[in-house]
Structure 1
């Protein structure tokens, strides 16, 4: 059957079949056509040469999305020698016939032709879908990538929390009392726009700045409320921040490296979660953290919902 399979670049009329294929194969990560348009076709780094289809006649049976950065992330170090695979799928009846290998080989060749030295599955910003291969849902894909020379960098996890019975622990209330009068933790107000962006440039350069800008913009248009964004500041300087959207996604969330251990992060976390609960949200979730930070989230009722393997290969 492999002889009947052709590999070609994405074309405008491929949208429907590609989305249908992804939904057949990525059963834990369904997506709409609109999501594909927004996160793939409208991504400024999208290039049809990195979006490859395996076709059997008129039928799309395989797809891989590879990305190489055209535009540097805001204030982040240049990473134009890196590449990413963010989506891959092969129809069940076409698997174990070399089609996936052929797709990956083709996209790796394209990466190399652009001067890339390393590829990842998949820590791409701004539009990753999941932070690696789900080790339970897609165990076959994990074995597949390892057979092609990919190695694990680490295993991030996704977490979810039920907010219905959310309460703030006594130890967090004690931290609030200790910091009262020195650290102010409050919802967004316009006077904090520039201090927050300046802080993010120093502490979390890159895609987090986009998240913060978009959230603050939505506050100005009425899509978000001021308490969608929480900011901690001390003596005129920002020391921490977190945000949530209107659909239960929590984060980004961070505290200055020099200020960690004071309880600022815990207070931000619970303030934000209580704001979510007050809006009628019953659950909070995020896709990406590590085991160390997960211990803090567990204090707020978060439990592990998924585990991923972030993969890397030298080209």
Structure 2
């Protein structure tokens, strides 16, 4: 089967969208979401995105990106990849990936990963139900190193207000409120201390209407935050959330989480997605969240 590979052009988008929708058949990929994944990646580079063509028909798509110097490591990523079902097993994915890997090796990337791109990601790894993607990872020499999960919350099963806890926090001089434009610089400075990689997502949550961020202030200073609508447009995406280490255990996180879930409910969503979860017990206990999907994480050391 003959095909050619070239770099992605903006005019390719209308063919890429249905290709991704068919390849990611377990997920919802709308036009706005795909544009966000491509063009709103903070380090988007057109030269790291390839398409495979059978004459004028696009039959393959691979988007790469990189994040340099994350705690001293340079990471490269296959952010999204799709191949037309009728054209699989023709080395299309391999050929596109090898172009990406060659380029990123030249840039001194240390480690390649699949999917779990900080700041702007579609999924935090590979859902094993996408078995061809697992096979691709193995063939390309990637090693599975960790699992993670997305949780699902039923937003209609309860009222997300917690006035009793809010009053208890007030007694401790802690005020919970929606973030305002005037809070933005202080919030970004606060996030930089421990959650620098989340600053971009907070920027995105600031674009929601109303602002998709709630904060907790102790004596007027921000000490915790919780956000939604910071990733994956059109989906009820929760996070990120963070609390100053010295103030954990006071219940601020729960109240901020509830504020965000109430926002998502008000928008009209029936469920909320809590992605890339570490503390499953926290969310299960406070929201009744259940594990909806599992993701296997893969990496390959280059240098």
What CA deviation, in whole Å up to 9, does each residue of 1:186-212 have, x standing for no partner?
Answer: 333566444323211212112x22333
CA contact (8 A) 1:156 1:307 kept: yes
* Whole-Å separation in 1 of the counterparts to 2:134 and 2:108: 26
Aligned to 1:238: 222
Change (3 A) 1:304 1:165: same
Q: Does 1:149 align with 2:141?
A: yes
What does residue 205 of structure 1 align with? Answer: 196
Which of 3, 6, 16 is matched with 1:5 structurally?
Answer: 3
Match among 268, 286, 302 for residue 289 of structure 2: 302
Q: Deviations over 1:80-129 (max 9, x none)?
A: x3211111112222222322222212211111122212111122233321
Contact 2:238 / 2:275 at 8 angstroms: preserved in 1?
no
Question: Any residues of structure 2 matched to 1:97-246 within 5 Å, and which?
Answer: 97-136=90-129, 138-167=130-159, 179-182=169-172, 183-189=174-180, 192-206=183-197, 208-216=198-206, 218=208, 223-224=209-210, 228-245=212-229
Report the equivalent of 2:38: 40
Kept after mapping to 2: 8 A contact 1:90/1:100 = yes
Give RMSD over aligned pairs.
2.8
How far apart, CA to CA, are the structure 2 residues paired with 1:281 and 1:58? 39
* 8 Å CA contact retained: 1:15, 1:33: no
The 8 Å contact of residues 152 and 312 in structure 1, kept in 2 or not, is answered as: yes
5-14 or 110-119, which moves further after superposition?
5-14
Task: Please give the per-residue CA displacement for 1:140-188, whole angstroms capped at 9, x wherever unaligned.
Answer: 211320222111232121122111122569xx88866654421332333
1:312 to 280, 290, 299: 299
Aligned residue pairs total 296
Separation in structure 1 between the aligned mates of residue 160 and residue 37 of structure 2, nearest angstrom: 36
2:254 is equivalent to residue 263 of structure 1: no
SS in 2 for 1:254: strand
Deviations 1:29-53 (A, max 9, x none): 3423443333314545222322112
For normalisation by structure 1, the TM-score amounts to 0.82
Aligned pair in 2 of structure 1 residues 190, 52: CA closer, same or farther (>3 Å)? closer
Match of 1:87?
80
- Distance, in Å, in 2 between the alignment partners of 1:13 and 1:188 is 38
CA distance in 2, matches of 1:33, 1:195: 33
In the TM superposition, residue 243 of structure 1 has moved relative to its aligned partner by 2.1
